[in-house]
Amino acid sequence: MTFIPPKYNKNSLATFYPTLRSRVNAYFTENNISRNANAAMVSKTVILLLVYLVPLGLLYFGDVSSKWAVFSLWVIMGFGMAGIGMAVMHDANHGAYSKNQKVNNLIGYLLNMVGGNADFWKIQHNVLHHTYTNVAGADEDIDTPPFLRFSPHVERKWIHRYQHWYALFFYGFLTLPWITSKEMLQLNSYKNQGLIAPGKPFRNLLIRSIVWKIGYYVYLLVLPMLLTPVSPWFTLICFLTMHYIASFLLGMIFQTAHVMPSLDFPKPDETGNLENNWAVHQLYTTTNYAPKSRIFAWFVGGLNFQVEHHLFPNICHVHYKRISRIVKETAQEFGLPYHSQRNFLDAVRGHLHILKTLGRQDHLPVPAGIPMEEMQSV
């Protein structure tokens, strides 16, 4: 079935985004700043790659014999893997790392190096999630397994009553589908929806996916089993532990930005129309958190400034904090919400609260109801 996208109301506060975009563009022009990566971003890229690759090199050539030392290296790689996913490849696959698209493509393929696939990620994340944020049936980020319910527009089952107890545990398995079946399922699904052209484009994606996956398993599972002086079973446990750490971090960072009590889950009307225009929609479905934490923002790739990221995904995250004041002031000028939680712990509490509510109620208020006074300033 061809994917029929919901339609935005272009007449709803039509001047908001042009006004905001003009002010943000003026910030970069007046300060003579590039919208892309700067020296700090390049340094971060190198550091996070080293966090991932140095432990791998030690597993290959370091003559590490202690099981606990081996396990520790895999744990470190888990943090490196998450950092690459959040703070390096993410910008590149949005075209925000460099003005040169070849550079973006090259760095974007770091996702393939850690087990994902940049080609499919761009469709799921850039096309579907960023365009139709929190719209059930269009945003795959809230298209969950049957035992989770992230939207009030999805049927509630008895097991959802307990999801606030077990959901965070299952976030640790987020990347396992990447390295097993997810790409094949997406390939057919996107083809059937008209998001991938049939024929040669389909075949090329299929071949590239298979080649990348074989390479991934060889360098990150087979070779460590052969070169590390521990049993293959222990290496497999370490490999899965690395994925669990990275998955848990990724799940916590992304889900706390959109599945929150203060946010909306818009539903198209009978004709497929949404109430707001795209930019206004992003403000109602996205929240920031921990805006004052520099160390946290460094590691998560500025994704704590999720509002800015959704409004300007083609701007490198190192600039989000600076432009956040412009975004907030413009949103308030137009009478629009600017959601921001004081710290990450508040965001996690809010996320667990809405999981509990979604597990026990069929419907939610719209928006789902944290008072404006609880939205923290940047």
Distance CA 378, CA 372 (A): 14
Cβ atoms < 10 Å from Cβ of 370: 19
Distance CA 132, CA 137 (A): 9
Note the pTM of the prediction, 2 decimals.
Answer: 0.92
Distance CA 177, CA 182 (A): 5
Contact by Cβ (8 Å): 177, 250:
no
Q: What is the DSSP letter of 338?
A: -
DSSP string, 281-329: HHHHH--EE-TT-HHHHHHTTTTT-HHHHHH-TTS-GGGHHHHHHHHHH
How long a stretch of residues is the chain? Answer: 378
Cβ atoms < 10 Å from Cβ of 361: 12
The region that residue 266 occupies, defined by phi over 0 for left and psi between -120 and 50 for alpha, beta otherwise, is beta
Unique residue bearing structure tokens 């003009």: 22
Could you list the pLDDT tens digit for every one of the 378 residues in the chain? 556 788 999 888 899 999 999 999 999 999 999 999 999 999 999 999 999 999 999 999 988 889 999 999 999 999 999 999 999 999 999 999 999 999 999 999 999 999 999 999 999 999 999 999 999 989 999 999 999 999 999 999 999 999 999 999 999 999 998 898 888 888 888 888 888 878 778 888 889 999 999 999 999 999 999 999 999 999 999 999 999 999 999 999 999 999 999 999 999 998 889 999 999 999 999 999 999 999 999 999 999 999 999 999 999 999 999 999 999 999 999 999 999 999 999 999 999 999 999 999 988 865 544 443 333 333
